[in-house]
Chains A and B, each alone.
Chain A
């Protein structure tokens, strides 16, 4: 440690050079808002979906959902038509489906008539009742492109991937802005989600980091009333953040939605070591005024190096548990945050002392060191309650825990990625409208291989469709059989046996397909079968309101196709979401178990006692269980972000108990009895723990300003969890120690 002070300028120079290099690297970070890419490519749902897309193409759909009192009101309809026509003029889309290019193929007086469902190309009076009647008869449009109550309609665009997503969305928005009628447009689709998410990730980053730093500065100044006391922890935090982000491009990693947590985490956590340092330094400056600056710094470092190292290691282990998540950004977060904490610990023990010696103090600072402030009064109160009623405290804690944990009945895992954007975002409104009125926003694709023209094959598809459409959550099931039946309606009279019926001969099927190619759009066929008629796909459109809906539907689908030799597998974005959410739950469990076990073992090692490990782990278990219950009560779902709560809160929360144990042990070693040792620990170390916890809570509170609902949820939960860890370490653990008087504290 004397070496650090001796070579303080070298220390400073090395830190600055590393920071500069990291900053240069960090500037090349790319944002990745694509949630699908957060999963590894070798999971079954992705493999199956990719197989289907290799044959049927990978769509990039954008849904424009329009809602008004009546979409067929003439002025509204004309305005919609103008929008539709403008969209047709754009170069950004490979296809567009709407009521304005939907075709009606019907039989009339022995003629097969192919015409647009709605034709507004000529000016004139719009015959609304005829249009309404025609839409009601159209399988393609009614309930799919237009809601059954005619309040909602859909324009389905397929984006051309050679253009930038942001440019496409901007183009659409500028066209929609020209709409001059009653009603409103909303947008939905993965491209729109990604574009919005990318913009919001950037926005969050630019807002939350400075805001977090500002709050940290204010907090530090109020705490210590000394500019140096603000500057030193701040420099550790900033350098840690820069180095953490600098590592990402070097590792080939991108900034995800989860990455927004990193700078705020670093502000909240890396701050602590500096706070402990300043607290101890100020304490020694007041109590040992005769010592030189360098000596005070040395004493501070020598006193703090072990606890700071221990708390740093335990925090790193807690955070490192995130590598057990299968979600790629969560794994990366585990590594990066651990490295960031390691850097913060090293800087706190190396840079802060060096800087303290370089930047001479002007005053001792006071702030919350005033003898009788509010926090101290509360801590004194806690201490007296603990001394008088330790058993009651344990029982009350248990009851409170059980009450909170009952919320676990309502605990749910997120069923899709749609809640990433806030519930008031137009994206969420689009989803709601589509789910309620247009059959649902989710789809699963069933993949078949065989002779697609074989009537038996098509009749099976037809049968599956009927069975699926009988399910309440299924909006529609479409396949080639739908199109063949439409053609039979065009070629046969309603009273004929062949009307709306899969033909019995293969030749008839082949000829209907040929007829469709001549009169309809051949590209429509290729949504359901490949070029050589060897593969077929059935699209099942549905909506989810519960997490188990997809599971139930999957089970039903598997039952339906169970004995079909032509059935291969199922795929689709919904299944990727479902599998991802299962992985989130598993990852949460594994990382939790890892962190808990590791922390228990480390505490056992530090204090040479398994009892210490168990006792030290208790606040963490309480915090995790209570947080899960709390999630249920608040209807906060387990998502890619909230799944990280356990690891982070364990990593942070263990420090408080560690500090309390350390102090109790020291006091007893110095001759104090248990009650006295606990009282001193609570009001002195407890004070540091409280400030520490409050600074973490305040640091994470910044996330309430995030654009993402799931990050706001994370903020609430982490603040709750940290507060619980703090209260457990200040109240429950001392109460248990008074009752049990564990031997490891008196060794």
Chain B
């Protein structure tokens, strides 16, 4: 009798039960982001479009010998193009050497270099985006935002990294051309859940062997809602070289007008 009563109550109130169940599921449904969404969010959090900074780039070989470069840079977005000027401050023999980079969304990137010793500006046309940045283990591709269409995204099992609960994502180059340009076949990224910041990236070669490892540390807030990793370390797991990029000074926004981001301006002090 009692059972019959319970069952009839369930039938009568089934609509309410279903509604309650649905409401209970909403939180988990809305937080179940796709890999691409997680990645986009992390990029969004850490990619101030306009920035000026002084960084120290340390290139260390397998025997721990170091080359140290101090570089001043300014980066600003104009329309769909990101423009960046880099100028060597140290060491003295390369002081004044400058680079100008236009990172276009829809066109091929453009690059110029100025050499103060011979007082010449030259545009560099090179297909290799995977090339080493300033001879370091960071590549030119690492210095700009990735093109999302070039990758397939997937989620791997979450992991705890340095006490932080992290999403672990896999980005696979969609075609061999991209893989060749990037210098790797796929990457695994650890993104901390609490702040959606990339903490570690491992790059894999075409034989699925780990090729490089990047760690990003010491995130600080820039402006209202962006973070910037003050310390980045890229280890080449094959030749045992390491490069360190450490921010010495940084400010959000750039005071430079678009006219300053021109090849002719490189030769000006």
Contact = CB atoms under 8 A, between A and B. Distances in A.
A522 B132 contact: yes
Given A517-B135, A531-B67, A511 B123 contact: no
B85 to A, nearest CB: 15
Given A91-B207, A505-B117, A508-B118, A514 B97 contact: yes
Contacts of A111: 122-125
B94 A492 contact: no
B159 interface: no
B262 interface: no
A89 interface: yes
Contacts of A114: 124-128
A1 interface: no
Contacts of B97: 511, 514
Interface string B217-232: 0000000000000000
Contacts of A510: 91, 93-94, 117
Contact of A112 (B93, B124, B207): B124
Given A89-B206, A491-B118, A531-B65, A517 B125 contact: no
Given A112-B113, A491-B120, A514-B97, A531 B206 contact: no
A511 B128 CA distance: 20
Interface string A86-128: 0001010000000000000001001111111000010000000
Interface centre among A112, A115, A532 (most CB of B within 10 A): A112
**Which of A113, A453, A508, A531 has the most CB atoms of chain B within a 10 A radius of its CB?**
A531
Interface in B131-165: 131-135
B135 to A, nearest CB: 3
A511 B124 contact: no
A518 interface: yes
A517 B126 CA distance: 13
B126 to A, nearest CB: 4
A511 B206 contact: no
Contacts of A531: 61, 63, 65, 67
Interface string A506-545: 1110111011011100100000000110000000000000
A498 interface: yes
Contacts of B134: 514, 517-518
Contacts of B133: 518
A72 B214 CA distance: 42
Interface string B71-97: 000000000000000001001111001
A115 B135 contact: no
Contact of A508 (B91, B117, B125): B117
B166 to A, nearest CB: 30
B227 to A, nearest CB: 28
A103 to B, nearest CB: 9
Contacts of B207: 91
Interface-centre pick from B120, B134, B177 (highest chain A CB count, 10 A) = B120
Interface size class of A (residues with CB under 8 A): 20 to 34
Interface residues of B, number: 33
A103 B65 CA distance: 28
Contacts of B124: 111-114, 518-519
A510 B123 CA distance: 19
Given A91-B209, A518-B131, A531-B65, A453 B122 contact: no
Interface in A693-735: none
A143 interface: no
Contacts of A616: none
Contacts of A517: 132, 134-135
Interface in A473-503: 490-492, 498, 503
Contacts of A89: 206
Contacts of A508: 115, 117-118
Given A115-B127, A517-B132, A519-B131, A498 B122 contact: no
A507 B88 CA distance: 13
B123 A112 contact: yes
A511 B65 contact: no
Contacts of B132: 517-518, 522
A110 B122 contact: yes
A531 B136 CA distance: 12
Contacts of A518: 99, 113, 124, 131-135
B116 interface: yes
Contacts of B126: 113-115, 519
Contacts of B135: 514, 517-518, 522
Nearest to A532: B65
A708 B131 CA distance: 46
B206 to A, nearest CB: 6
Given A498-B118, A532-B65, 18 more contacts: A113-B124, A113-B126, A114-B126, A114-B127, A121-B177, A490-B122, A491-B118, A505-B117, A506-B93, A510-B93, A511-B115, A511-B117, A511-B118, A512-B115, A514-B94, A519-B124, A531-B67, A532-B67
9 closest A-B pairs by CB? A517-B135, A508-B117, A510-B93, A114-B126, A507-B117, A111-B123, A112-B122, A511-B115, A113-B125
